[in-house]
Structure 1
Amino acid sequence: MQATGADIIKVVSNADDITEMERIFYLLSHCEVPAVAYSVGERGLISQLLCPKFGGALVYGSMEGNSIPGLPTLESLKEAYKVYCMDSDTKVFGLVSKPVSHSKGPLLHNPTLRHASFNGIYVPMFVDDLKKFFDVFASPDFAGYSVGFPYKEAVVQFCDEVHPLAKSIGAVNTIIRRPGDGKLIGYNTDCEGSITAIEDALRDQKYVNGRSLNSPLAGKQFVVVGAGGAGRAIAVGARSRGARLIIFDIDLERAKCLARAVSGEARHFESLAHFQPENGAILANATPIGMHPSTDRIPAAEETLGNYQLVFDAVYTPRKTRLLKDAAAAGAITVSGVEMFLRQAIGQFNLFTGREAPKDFMRKIVLAKF
């Protein structure tokens, strides 16, 4: 194509895996004439968002009212990602998940990185194979990751080192590529993010290092629905505060494994429909039940919600899930997954940048956009 003497060349592919984007980035970096190269579809989205970093001549976006699957909108390119601010030194952070379209991480992390004058960009990464992903994207350009559903437990094996808290939980939601040796270090910011949100909702108290000597969770029955990565983080956090855990999961063996780790009790998810909690118990949903677009489902029996003092939902799309609406109507204190999302993101920013997160700015972003 270069030999034709064209002023600009363009290559568009259909991606079956996000790791194919590495070839596109190589092409852009080594092409001798201005080039446009990207892959369509959700797995190829990073090729469009990161095009300027690797020397691409143009970035494509869809116009308002004419969205195209897998193609970013012009508004997001200009406002959320501000791709024109990118250069070859821009550090790449992203959400490793499947799917990723629901994530609001870019709406929070990108403005915060710019506010802090940190040369970085945060992008969604639709990953099918963790091993292939980490093998291919091994350069210092890819500096850190958030880890979402369904990989928080599985990703532990791909970390070179795991922080003690994340190791005790058995789940990682944040990975940093350590400067110098390039090793992947796994952390968990979900645990304190969720538990402090619940504690703060139960009483107005300042915490030292995320802990209170007399946690309002001490001695309470704490019901966790879901024994995956988020459920493990919540359960370990609740146990550290002295709560009594009951774990429900569709996979009873997985529930039993977590119950053993937190000295709790395991039950099958189906039995939750008939479960009668103690008055004043805490309920935490750590499953995708109620997430957009299936927003009409709740994980617990509606008639039991009045027994709970507080109901927490890790789902944050929508912000007010049906579970939270029904729980509020029944008289329970409610805590949105948005609060957990904000707090864990603050922890991630600290790890990503090595700087103190601008907490007030991040909260303003969440209140305005979520």
Structure 2
Amino acid sequence: MKDLEELREEIDTIDKQLVALFEKRMEAVLDVAKYKIKNSIPILNAEREKQVIEKNIRILKNKEFSNAVEDFFKSVMSISRNLEAHNMPDDKNIGKQSNIENFEPKIEDNVKIEADKTQTKSTLFGLIGEKLGHSISPAIHSKLYKILGMNAVYELFEIEKKKLEVNFKALIANGVKGLNVTIPYKVDIIKYLDEISVEADKIGAVNTICFKNGKVIGHNTDYHGFGKMLEKNNIPVKNKKIVVLGAGGAAKAVIQYFIDNNAKDILLVSRDKKKAAENFKGTKIIDYDELKALEQGDVIVNCTPCGMYPKTEISPVDENCIGKFSSAVDLIYNPKETLFLKYAKEKGIKAVNGLYMLVGQAIAAEELWNDSTIDENIVDKIYQELL
């Protein structure tokens, strides 16, 4: 058996070969980028990437490495797409975005989507919710489509509660390729799905819907977006005392993240403890009067819509309550500074809004819809542009 130094020397030799081949591949990628610019071809080709992965798994001698090879090529292709995007002219909109004409974002029964009358059809994605006037999701997805050269549009679909089922089915019938879900439908939508992913099942809420192999499948990318936001802002979770305000679908993802990342104590605050107890089994629930008696905590998270545009003059809790914590996180991103966060800054504690979470969960949804991996630098780029 070879000793450790011999094995390391062998790996070093292989690494040199890998670097040489990687450099050669990137040079080829740049040639591909030039061809795509010249012929107005989108950067992202999910079907092609899928074929590349399957083809390379087939030639593996040791099939135990199949998952590792898949991860390897997803990373390589993500790097390749990013390199292509950086070499696209800023004013070059590859895969020109078409408009969807005669389509009202607020949809009703028997809705019909009138596709564009140009030669190139845009792939349709969108967001389902009750009140969406504040949403900047279209801006996030449009920026991504421009970076990746995708021929796609992202629409807002305002739906009344009593018309959720009929309008959801109408969107499916009219060929929407992917949907996000927001307040107040993250739980209600589940009954209309064929299946939900492991993480969505564990959380009990869905914010992303995919259409795969004839099935309607629910996922939850809020979880991942929330985690990225905490990491980005250096807010530790392990062994910390956490307070979560609100008992909706977003709170489910937030609490699950805290559980999975070993928070010491998690308190859910709700005006209706009985109803919250039905939806958050195993979670300690208190009301707002009990919260006032709390002496100290580490992180307080607002998962309610309280303070969201246009009603920006209110906060779910007062400045004295917020001052008991070292970090305050508000999932609201419009306005950028809610009264809740203003109180936090005045108390000299870390204050973070939900914008990075919004971008993170949006990119994760696009990865699911397009069977692809998107470079994390793109998340940061879009976030900075929105700031």
Distance change (3 Å), C-alpha of 1:87 and 1:168: farther
| Letter in structure 2 aligned against 1:264 | T
Distance change (3 Å), C-alpha of 1:232 and 1:37: closer
| 1:6 match | none
Distance change (3 Å), C-alpha of 1:141 and 1:115: farther
Runs of 4+ in 1 over 6 A off after TM superposition: none
- State how far apart, in whole Å, the 2-side matches of 1:184 and 1:39 are: 23
For residue 123 of structure 1, give the secondary structure of its aligned residue in structure 2: strand
Give me the CA root mean square deviation.
2.4
Residue 171 of structure 1 and its aligned partner are, at CA, apart by 0.3
Residue 198 of structure 1 and its aligned partner are, at CA, apart by 1.9
- State how far apart, in whole Å, the 2-side matches of 1:341 and 1:317 are: 11
| 1:332 match | 349
| 2:304 match | 287
For residue 243 of structure 2, give the secondary structure of its aligned residue in structure 1: strand
- State how far apart, in whole Å, the 2-side matches of 1:87 and 1:230 are: 40
| 2:374 match | 357
Residue 364 of structure 1 and its aligned partner are, at CA, apart by 2.7
User: Where does structure 2 lack aligned partners over 5 or more consecutive residues?
Assistant: 1-99
| 2:123 match | 91
Alignment equivalent of 1:220, drawn from 240, 243, 259: 240
Alignment pair present for 1:266 and 2:330: no
1:41-56 aligned within 5 A: 42-43=106-107, 51=114, 53-55=115-117
- State how far apart, in whole Å, the 1-side matches of 2:103 and 2:200 are: 35
- From the CA coordinates, give the structure whose radius of gyration is larger: 2
- State how far apart, in whole Å, the 2-side matches of 1:223 and 1:290 are: 18
Could you tell me whether the CA contact under 8 Å between 2:105 and 2:156 is conserved in 1? Answer: no
Could you tell me whether the CA contact under 8 Å between 1:250 and 1:270 is conserved in 2? Answer: no
Could you tell me whether the CA contact under 8 Å between 1:98 and 1:149 is conserved in 2? Answer: yes
- State how far apart, in whole Å, the 2-side matches of 1:332 and 1:296 are: 20
Residue 88 of structure 1 and its aligned partner are, at CA, apart by 5.5
| 1:176 match | 210
Residue 37 of structure 1 and its aligned partner are, at CA, apart by 7.5
Residue 99 of structure 1 and its aligned partner are, at CA, apart by 0.8
Residue 41 of structure 1 and its aligned partner are, at CA, apart by 7.9
Residue 319 of structure 1 and its aligned partner are, at CA, apart by 1.2
Alignment pair present for 1:276 and 2:310: no
- State how far apart, in whole Å, the 1-side matches of 2:179 and 2:103 are: 21
| 1:80 match | none
Q: Write out per-residue CA displacement over residues 115-148 of structure 1, whole angstroms, 9 at most, x where no aligned residue.
A: 2122221100011222102322224721110001
| 1:111 match | 143
- State how far apart, in whole Å, the 1-side matches of 2:153 and 2:245 are: 34
Higher strand share: 1
Distance change (3 Å), C-alpha of 1:326 and 1:145: same
- State how far apart, in whole Å, the 1-side matches of 2:157 and 2:105 are: 12
Distance change (3 Å), C-alpha of 1:286 and 1:329: same
Count of residue correspondences: 283
- State how far apart, in whole Å, the 2-side matches of 1:118 and 1:338 are: 23
Residue 335 of structure 1 and its aligned partner are, at CA, apart by 1.7
Alignment equivalent of 1:253, drawn from 258, 269, 274: 274
Alignment equivalent of 2:219, drawn from 181, 187, 192: 187
For residue 383 of structure 2, give the secondary structure of its aligned residue in structure 1: helix
Alignment pair present for 1:165 and 2:184: no
Distance change (3 Å), C-alpha of 1:357 and 1:39: closer
For residue 381 of structure 2, give the secondary structure of its aligned residue in structure 1: helix
For residue 141 of structure 2, give the secondary structure of its aligned residue in structure 1: helix
Residue 318 of structure 1 and its aligned partner are, at CA, apart by 0.6
| 1:132 match | 166
For residue 142 of structure 1, give the secondary structure of its aligned residue in structure 2: coil
Alignment equivalent of 1:100, drawn from 132, 147, 150: 132
Alignment pair present for 1:345 and 2:362: yes
Could you tell me whether the CA contact under 8 Å between 1:298 and 1:323 is conserved in 2? Answer: yes
Residue 40 of structure 1 and its aligned partner are, at CA, apart by 6.3
Q: Percent identity, aligned pairs only?
A: 27
